[in-house]
């Protein structure tokens, strides 16, 4: 798989658990960053990791889109699809167990937003401005752009990009269940419209399973 951003980068593997854990630890332990940025950046990484959603969907999350429902954190994403000459807006919900250790980082950031921002800003990941002269952090009323999201992800690991988390989510399903049912599991997990798209994950990562079993 290939990612092009400035210098061309190529890698043939998805994100391993060890690589993600190391990247997350670097984020949380970066004392050069304000607490807000450490909490925000860790939560962004964990949402990508746990949901495999597209960067455009993550960047458009609103505070009201994240709610605790029973034993899960419910995250509702907004998807815009073009249909002929009109745009169709879809809402898709993901349920993430509260017991998952990565969920806690999303909740910590959510708590910071509630305690410090309340309902003054609707976006879960608003744009920010920090003035080193006055030591003041300002949150804008506009959401982060997808380009800003990419910069945040690559700040802690230049070899990771947003869509690679989506690739990783699909690959993990295929490697855990190398049967034809994995195709429909991938389709459901990634909210894919076409089964043919899910088959591509089987083509890409099914060979890894064969190689491992051989």
Provide the pLDDT for residue 137: 94
Which are the contacts of 163, defined by CB distance < 8 A and separation ≥ 6? 3, 54, 55
Asked if pLDDT for residue 18 goes beyond 80, the answer is: yes
pLDDT single digits (tens) 135-185: 899 999 999 999 999 999 999 999 999 999 999 999 999 989 878 899 999
CA dihedral sign of residues 79, 191, 99, 33: negative
Provide the pLDDT for residue 83: 67
Provide the pLDDT for residue 30: 93
CB contact at 8 A, 122 and 64? yes
Cα–Cα distance for residue pair 19/172, rounded to 1 Å? 14
104: confidence class by pLDDT, cuts 50, 70, 90:
very high
Provide the pLDDT for residue 210: 47
What is the CATH number for 127?
1.10.443.10
Domain assignment present for residue 175? The answer is no
Asked if pLDDT for residue 129 goes beyond 80, the answer is: yes
**Mean pLDDT on 99-111:** 98
Residue 14 CA from chain centroid, whole number: 14
Mean pLDDT for all residues in the chain:
90
Number of domains in the chain: 1
DSSP string computed for 28-73: HT-TTS-HHHHHHHHHHHHHHHHH---HHHHHT-BGGGEEEETTEE
Provide the pLDDT for residue 47: 98
pLDDT single digits (tens) 29-57: 999 899 999 999 999 999 999 999 999 99
Burial state string for 118-141 with b = 16 or more CB within 10 A and e = fewer than 16: eeebebbbbeeeeeeeeeeeebee
Q: Which residue has the higher pLDDT, 182 or 12?
A: 182
Domain ranges, residue 52: 13-161
Q: How many residues does the chain have?
A: 214
Asked if pLDDT for residue 7 goes beyond 70, the answer is: no
Domain assignment present for residue 200? The answer is no
76: confidence class by pLDDT, cuts 50, 70, 90:
very high
**Mean pLDDT on 187-214:** 79
CB contact at 8 A, 121 and 76? no
Please tell me the pTM assigned to this model: 0.90
Which are the contacts of 183, defined by CB distance < 8 A and separation ≥ 6? 195, 198, 199, 201, 202
Domain assignment present for residue 204? The answer is no
Domain assignment present for residue 125? The answer is yes
Domain assignment present for residue 203? The answer is no
- The stretches of 52-190 forming alpha helices (DSSP H) are 55-59, 103-116, 146-156, 162-176, 181-190
Asked if pLDDT for residue 203 goes beyond 60, the answer is: yes
pLDDT single digits (tens) 52-73: 999 999 999 999 999 999 999 9
Which among 170, 174, 152 has a CA at the least distance from the CA of 161? 152
Domain assignment present for residue 106? The answer is yes
Percent of the chain surpassing pLDDT 90: 75
Three-state SS for 10?
Answer: strand
Provide the pLDDT for residue 207: 64
Asked if pLDDT for residue 80 goes beyond 70, the answer is: yes
Domain assignment present for residue 207? The answer is no
Here the tokens at position 45 are 């990484």
Domain assignment present for residue 181? The answer is no
């Amino acid at each position: 798989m290939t990612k092009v951003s400035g210098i061309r980068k190529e890698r043939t593997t998805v994100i391993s658990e060890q690589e993600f854990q190391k990247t997350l630890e670097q984020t949380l332990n970066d004392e050069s960053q304000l607490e807000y940025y450490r909490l925000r950046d860790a939560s962004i990484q964990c949402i990508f990791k746990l949901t495999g959603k597209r960067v455009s969907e993550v960047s458009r999350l609103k505070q009201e889109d994240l709610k605790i429902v029973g034993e899960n954190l419910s995250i509702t994403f907004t998807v815009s699809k073009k249909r002929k000459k009109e745009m169709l807006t879809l809402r898709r919900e993901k349920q993430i167990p509260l017991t998952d250790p990565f969920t806690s980082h999303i909740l910590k950031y959510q708590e910071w937003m509630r305690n410090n921002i309340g309902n003054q800003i609707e976006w879960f990941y608003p744009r920010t401005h920090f003035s080193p002269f006055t030591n003041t952090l300002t949150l804008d009323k506009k959401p982060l752009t997808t380009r800003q999201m990419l910069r945040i992800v690559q700040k802690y690991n230049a070899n990771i990009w947003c869509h690679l988390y989506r690739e990783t989510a699909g690959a993990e399903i295929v490697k855990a269940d190398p049967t034809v049912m994995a195709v429909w599991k991938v389709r459901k997990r990634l909210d894919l419209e076409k089964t043919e798209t899910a088959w591509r994950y089987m083509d890409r990562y099914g060979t890894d399973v064969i190689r491992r079993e051989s």
